[in-house]
Amino acid sequence: MQETTKHKTRVFSGVQPTGNLHLGNYLGAITRFVALQAEHECLYCVVDLHAITVFQDPDELAHNTREVTAAFIASGIDPARQIIFNQSQVSGHAELAWIFNCVARLGWLNRMTQFKEKAGKDREKASAGLYVYPNLMAADILLYHATHVPVGEDQKQHLELARDIAQKFNNDFAKTIAREDYPGGFFPLPEPIITGPATRVMSLRDGTKKMSKSETSDMTRINLTDDADAIAKKIKKAKTDPEPLPVEAKDLEARPEADNLVGIYAALTGISKDQVLREYGGSSFARFKEALAELATEKLTPIGDEMRRLMADPVEIDRILADGAKRARDIADPILAKAKDIVGFIRG
């Protein structure tokens, strides 16, 4: 990864504590988080401020915040080397988001597909927070001058908006930024990292919709905490089509459900879809689903077990979050102070 002018490489990403973490979160985001920590300074945030853009029961929110933290650690992120924290413990996120509310344009937000999907038909009833969600996400990243953001494919549009916000801030405040030593602009333009074998895992019940935590039916997703029986049942009941599996991956194109299941198998084993079809091409879904259930169980249940072990000690999880938040504030505070100077706010 290239260093941008004056900005050292720093990785930031977040996961919402909105419910059951699933295979999409794991393959699209968390496995990337784990891979990046070997060579980079990383901040991984449980984004509770984002979660409440849709109402959350307070007790469940606290439980889910701890559970996402446990999932990060159980998947292999080291909280001693990297920073794991929950967003609401660092007030700079909300402060910078306000500044960005005044930088971003309504026209930009109106194009966001996530808002349209989550607000649904009755937009008048969506929270104002859901609408400005992408501005807060830009603040999450830029508060740390983060340069790289590993996310699933669904977050690409929000990352582009974060770049637009950084660029507009750099232009709008060019006069005061010039007084500081930031020749490439005060905020770096963060780059998305949308890589890995499964950047968009689809619902088990509808191959055209992404797998989501907030989807009401639990049968649409495989949760990290599911046991072998639940995994087998969900995969067995997953929607398919009447044809046997094709021999080549290109023939999966018009078959979204088959494509998704083969993609999941490939991602879990670290091989290509063509390689999967070399073994299962021509076979029935019944046989393939059995093999997939076994594979998913083998890969996911140890993570679920470790999450349960960690969740048995919530005091230790809270200690990890508080320690992470302190270290996050150490990075954020001077950046936020400088942003305030640039905007023209007087500080004591």
118 carries an active-site annotation: yes
In Å, how far are 8, 75, 139, 160, 225 from 156, measured between CA atoms?
22, 24, 16, 6, 27
* Beta-sheet pairing, 41-46 with 83-86: parallel
Residue nearest to ligand ATP (CB): 28
Structure tokens at 12: 């930031």
Query: Of the listed 210, 234, 273, 289, which one is catalytic?
Result: 210
Interface stretch with ligand ATP, choices 146-154, 226-234, 292-300, 303-311 (CB under 6 A): 146-154
The verdict on 152 binding ligand ATP (CB under 6 A) reads yes
Q: Which of 166, 36, 146, 147 is nearest to 100 (CA)?
A: 166
213 carries an active-site annotation: yes
Interface stretch with ligand ATP, choices 3-11, 208-216, 244-252, 270-278 (CB under 6 A): 208-216
What's the rounded Cα separation, in Å, for the pair 97 and 89? 15
Which of 40, 168, 200, 329 contacts ligand ATP by CB under 6 A? Answer: 200
Instruction: Please identify, using beta-carbon distances, which residue of 60 and 341 lies nearer to ligand ATP.
Output: 60
Instruction: Please identify, using beta-carbon distances, which residue of 170 and 199 lies nearer to ligand ATP.
Output: 199
What's the rounded Cα separation, in Å, for the pair 65 and 43? 16
Q: For residue 294, with 0-12 CB atoms within 10 Å meaning exposed, 13-18 middle and 19 or more buried, which class applies?
A: middle
What's the rounded Cα separation, in Å, for the pair 65 and 72? 11
Compute the least distance from the CB of residue 314 to ligand ATP, in Å.
21
Which of 41, 60, 95, 154 contacts ligand ATP by CB under 6 A? Answer: 154
Tokens 């508080």, residue? 322
Tokens 């890589």, residue? 195
Interface residues for ligand ATP in 264-303 (CB under 6 A)? Answer: none
Binding mask 19-58 for ligand ATP (x = CB under 6 A): -----xx--xx-----------------------------
Work out the number of other CB atoms within 10 angstroms of the CB of residue 216. 7
Instruction: Please identify, using beta-carbon distances, which residue of 45 and 90 lies nearer to ligand ATP.
Output: 45
Residues with catalytic function: 118, 210, 213
Residues that bind ligand ATP (CB under 6 A): 15-16, 18, 24-25, 28-29, 151-152, 154-155, 199-201, 210-214
